[in-house]
Chains A and B, each alone.
Chain A
Amino acid sequence: MNGEAPSRIAWYDRLQKIDPRIIYLVVFVLVSIPFFVPIPVKMEVSPVVRKLYDKVEEIAENNKRGPEKFVLLAMDWSPSVKAENQPQTAAMIEHLFRRGVRFAIMSHLLPEGPMMAERIAERIAKKYNKRYGVDWVNFGFRQMRFADYMAFVRDMYAIISKDYRGTPIRDVPMMKNIRGLRDFALVFDVTGSGAYADWVYYAQPEAHFDIGVGVTAIIGPSIRPLIDAGQVVGMMEGLSGAAQYEQLLNIRGQASRGMGSQNLAHLWVIIALILGNIGYLASRRREKKLKKELR
C-alpha cells in the first residue's frame, strides 16, 4: 500500500467502458435461454412475406385448373448461413409439399446448397408421403454465371444431363412434364449473397418466371428496390421472415424456435446502445459544465 487513494471511475465512464467479456457473456446467456425455456413467438406478418406465400398459393390453385407449373429452388447457401437459410428452405419445402406443387432443387453458386436442401426435402417428404423423382427432383450443382443463364433458359437439358443422384435427367419421372425453364412459375433463391441477381438480370427477362428470395437479414435491404419494381415478388428476410412464413403455415419450426434467441439478443443490443449513449451524453454534459466553471 503506497497510501494513494484508488482513482474512482465516474458512473458515466463506466457505462461507456463495459468489459467486452461481459457483453459476450450476456449475449451467450441470452441466446442460450430459449433452448431450455421455449419462448412463445407471435409476429406480425410483413407484406413481403405475405406476397411470397400468396404466390405459392396462386401457383397451387392455377395448377388445379391449367397446365402444371413447377417451382425451382435455387439453393445458393452453405453451412455458414445455415441458421437463417435452412429454416427458410424448410418453410418453403413444407409449403410446396403441402400444396402439392412439385419442385426442383439446384445451385449455380455453391455445391453445398443442393446437398443441404436434399436432406431437408427428404425429412419433410416423409411427413407428406412424397417421393423423390415423382414429387421433387434435385439437379445438383451447376457452375453458372452471367451469360450461362441464357443457355440454361434456351435449353435446360443441355446444361443438366444428370440429377444429383446420378440418374440421367430424362429418366426422372417428374421431368416428363418439364420441357424447359419456362415451365417453372417461380424461382425461389435462398442465399446469403447476391446470387439472386443473376436470376433477376439474366434469366427472368427470357423465361418470364416470378422470383422469390429467402435471404440473410444483411442481404434483405438490397432486395427492396427489386420488390418495388416487381422483379422479385416477395421474400423471407432473415430468421424473422422464416418465422413469419412458418406462422402462415401454422407450424412451429426451426425459425419460430430460433426467434426466441434473436428476440433476446436484439433487446440486449438496444439496451447496450442506450447504456453507452447515456454514459456518453452524461460525460459530454459534465465536460461542458467543467469548461463553463473554468471560464
Chain B
Amino acid sequence: MRRNIIIILTFVGGLYYFLEFVLPGETGISKLIVEIGKVTLAIGACAFLLGVINLLRLHGTRVVLRRSGWHNSAALIVALFVMLIVHLVRYYSHAAEGDTVWRIYNLLWDNMRVPLDSTIFSLLAFYIVSAAYRSFRIKSGEAAVMMAAAVVVMLGQIPTGQEVTLWLKGYENDPGLWWLSRIRVDTIREWLMQYWNGAAQRGILFGAAIGGLAMSLRIWLSLERGSFFDRQ
C-alpha cells in the first residue's frame, strides 16, 4: 500500500512539473505552482533538520561510547550549538553592533569560521603545485599538447604572462601584419578556452543531460531500484 502511494505521488508530481514546463503560457494548472513551490520549500527546510538530527545521532553515539576520535565529535557538537545559540540570541535580541553578543558572534564567525574555512581551501594551492610537478610528464604527443595548452592558459591569465606578447598588440591596425596581434598569449588562451574547451564542455553537458534524462525517467516511473523499494 505504502509503496503504491509513493509510486502514484512520484508520478503525479513529475507529470505536473513536466506539463507545467512544456505547455506554453499560463494554463489552468499554473495557478498551483506557487503553493506547490511553498510545500517543496518546507520539505527542503525539513531536510536541514534531518541533517542536524543525523549528525547528532552519529557523533552523539561516538561521544557516549567513547569511541576513537570521540573528542573530535564532541568539538563538532559543541561548535554546532555554540554557533546556533549565539546567532539566535543575536538575531532575536535585536542587539546593536558592539554589544557583547555581537562581539562573541564576530569572534566565532570572522575570527574562527571564515579563516578556518579559507585556510583549508587554500591548502589546495600547495597540493596542486606539488601534484602537477610530480605527475605532469610529457610521455606522449597528447601529453605534450596538453602541457603546452596548460602553460598557455596559465600564462594568459597572469599579468607577467600577458606582458610577454603584449607588444604584438601594436600591430592591430597594420593592414599587412594585423594577424600578429592575434597570436598573443592572452588571445590564444581565450581561443583555447572558448572554442576547444567550450566544445569539450558542451559534449560533457550533452552526455550528462542524456544520462540525467534517463535517470529522471526511471525515478518518475518508479523503475529505479532504491534503498526504499529494496526493503519492501
A-to-B contact residues, CB < 8 Å: 18, 20, 23-24, 27-28, 31, 41-44, 46-47, 78-83, 142-145, 147-148, 150-152, 154-155, 158-159, 166, 217, 220-222, 224-225, 227-228, 237-238, 240, 259, 262-263, 265-270, 272-273, 275-277, 280-281
Contact = CB atoms under 8 A, between A and B. Distances in A.
| Max count, chain A CB within 10 A of own CB: residue among B34, B132, B134 | B34
For the complex, would chain A's binding face be called helix, strand, loop or mixed by DSSP majority?
Answer: helix
Contacts of A79: 113-115, 117-118
Interface string B152-188: 0011011111100010000000000000000010100
For the complex, would chain B's binding face be called helix, strand, loop or mixed by DSSP majority?
Answer: helix
Contact of B147 (A24, A142, A273): A273
A228 B159 contact: no
B201 A272 contact: no
B44 interface: yes
Contacts of A43: 159, 162
A18 B133 contact: yes
Contacts of A277: 136-138, 147
Nearest to A20: B130
Interface stretch (B52-60, B67-75, B191-199, B218-226): B191-199
B160 A267 contact: yes
Contacts of B228: none
Contacts of A144: 41, 44
A266 B154 contact: yes
B100 interface: no
B129 A268 contact: yes
Contacts of B186: 44, 46
Contacts of B158: 240, 259, 262-263, 266-267
The list of the 3 closest CB pairs from A to B, nearest first, reads A151-B37, A79-B117, A224-B198
A93 B83 CA distance: 29
A289 to B, nearest CB: 18
Contacts of A147: 17, 36-37, 40
A31 B125 contact: yes
Given A148-B41, A152-B37, A276 B160 contact: no
